[in-house]
Structure 1
Amino acid sequence: MTRASREWRISLSEGELEAAWWGAPPEAAPSFVLLHEGLGCISLWRDLPAWLAGRTGFGVFAYSRLGYGKSGRNPAPWPLDYLRREAGWVLPRVLDAAEIRQAVLIGHSDGGSIAAIHAATQDDPRIAGLVLIAPHFLMEPQVLAGITAAREAYLESDFRVRLGRYHAHVDDAFWGWNRAWLDPAFARDFDLSGDLRNVSKPMLVIQGEDDPYGTAAQPEAAARLARAEVEVAMIPGARHAPHLEAPDRTRPLIAAFSERMLKRI
């Protein structure tokens, strides 16, 4: 990861979050806000923040959710509505703390679901559009199979050690996420169709064609249900992280879409 121009901690009543900024400050240019995946954190965006800042001239803000990266603890079990709590209660305060003025939300996997819920439930004029990378809107068999496989790898391989390089509280991060998604009530009730019908922000939905955690049904749901325009990009050969696995195909799409959205403000 190319080093951020600013690193600091955001203090919330729930705990402290690690935060980082690349490029232009929010008073000088629009911003990207990065919302990481279910086992992600700031570091696991790799070089994407620096690339976006250099390509567009916009600022890039990222934070690690509670329990992840170098943020404070968030012991399992997590409440089954943890995505909604993040979207409706935590994210607005984080955007305030980062002094975000005009932005595109970029959400990966869990972060994509959080971004969509935020757009559906919060009247937030700061947000011009959404880039959702491998988001989850609907429960599919692939989702549960992939998360079950991750649990077996965590217990039986060096996966825990590798994750521990990025997360100060690795068991919080893994078991909070894994046990929530594999809870029968979560699997039964997870459906963001109603939220999508309330999204009025333009969206770019990016899906790897070989994603083990979801299929084209996810972006198709957004295109069918959302109130705003939806662009869909299926990326050949990419799995669950097309922004890292197919950067030459994926990143220019993100930059071009975001520049169009932010010019509308």
Structure 2
Amino acid sequence: MEKPALATVAAASAVTTAGDFVELPATVSHGPLRIEYRWVNETSLDAPIAVFLHEGLGSVAMWRDWPQVLCERLGMRGLVYSRPGYGLSTPRAHDMKWPVDFMTAQARDILPALLDALNVEMQERKRMWVIGHSDGGSIALLYAALYPEALAGAVVIAPHVFVEDISVESIAQTKRLYETTNLRDKLARYHADVDSAFYGWNDIWLNPAFRQWTIATELASIRQPLLAVQAHDDNYGTMAQIDTIAARVPHARLVKLDAGGHSPHRDAPEKLNEAIEAFVLGSVGR
């Protein structure tokens, strides 16, 4: 595991203090990748792992201190990483478009390969929780469905199970803001190649072919504890998202927040942390 070249750090400007990096070999679904990651409570080797899966424009740096705060409450060791195309991980080539099933590829291929590269053994994975936000929540659901024996449970925050008009309308508005305001400069603090990160996410969500995307059928394979959280004032999705989860996964627990927007870990952290702590520690204690 190597540190980034000085040129890479310089190109990233003030994105973040460079963390660690791991190389993933090429497979049939992707070329060789360099993944930025950071451990939280790294020395707590006996503690269960919580893997944090970021939103569509997220990264290691954009989580800020929330993974640390939550891991302290849960007594866990945390793994935070930037997906390919985000943060300081391998950027998306500007002529490359994410496929409609890009989140399935992240759950099926990238996350297991990362865990392998970091020597996370199967016994550790069986005690592992995946905690995902927005697109990361969808990836967490897919991982839980694809590998039901390779985790202890999942927490998903403002996940997407299918495409709603409100999501597309808000994402189109975000594109207008990115191209006409200082939003690009703000996001550049979190990504070495901000245009790669932004348009990879924006282009697929605004692709007409993506309107038919859904993972509702896959949810029925989830067997481990599952907590789904949604705020009523989320402008990227409605309660129909987590209600669909409950219909497909009867044992899922839903938490509906009065307020918290699309990012409750930022806008309503105490209520969110309380809900996650009660659910996770209650599930572990059963």
Alignment of 1:61 with 2:79, yes or no, is yes
Aligned pair count reads 258
Residue of structure 1 aligned with 2:215, choices 192, 199, 209: 192
CA distance in 2: counterparts of 1:173 and 1:26, whole angstroms: 32
Cα shift readout 1:195-240 (whole Å, capped 9, x = no counterpart): 112211221111111000100101100111115x111111112100
TM-score, normalization by structure 2:
0.85
Q: CA deviation at 1:27?
A: 3.6
Larger radius of gyration, structure 1 or 2?
2
CA distance in 1: counterparts of 2:71 and 2:147, whole angstroms: 26
CA distance in 2: counterparts of 1:208 and 1:99, whole angstroms: 36
Q: Where has structure 1 moved over 6 Å in runs of 4 or more? A: none
Q: Is the 8 A contact 1:39 1:68 kept in 2?
A: yes
Name the structure 2 match of 1:85.
Answer: 105
The change in CA–CA distance for 1:103 and 1:243 in structure 2 (over 3 A counts) is same
Name the structure 2 match of 1:238.
Answer: 260
Name the structure 1 match of 2:187.
Answer: 163
TM-score, normalization by structure 1:
0.92
Name the structure 2 match of 1:50.
Answer: 68
What 5-or-longer segments of structure 1 have no aligned partner? none
Residue of structure 2 aligned with 1:210, choices 207, 212, 233: 233
Q: Secondary structure, in 3 states, of the residue corresponding to 1:197?
A: helix
Name the structure 1 match of 2:168.
Answer: 144
Letter in 1 for 2:265: H
Q: CA deviation at 1:192?
A: 1.2
CA distance in 2: counterparts of 1:141 and 1:94, whole angstroms: 34
CA distance in 1: counterparts of 2:255 and 2:117, whole angstroms: 32
Name the structure 2 match of 1:10.
Answer: 22
Alignment of 1:226 with 2:249, yes or no, is yes
The change in CA–CA distance for 1:85 and 1:105 in structure 2 (over 3 A counts) is same
Q: CA deviation at 1:25?
A: 4.5
CA distance in 2: counterparts of 1:204 and 1:215, whole angstroms: 16
Q: Is the 8 A contact 1:205 1:233 kept in 2?
A: yes
Name the structure 2 match of 1:247.
Answer: 269
Fraction of identical pairs, as percent: 37
Q: CA deviation at 1:52?
A: 1.8
Cα shift readout 1:79-136 (whole Å, capped 9, x = no counterpart): 222111101011111122233312110000000000111111224x331111000000
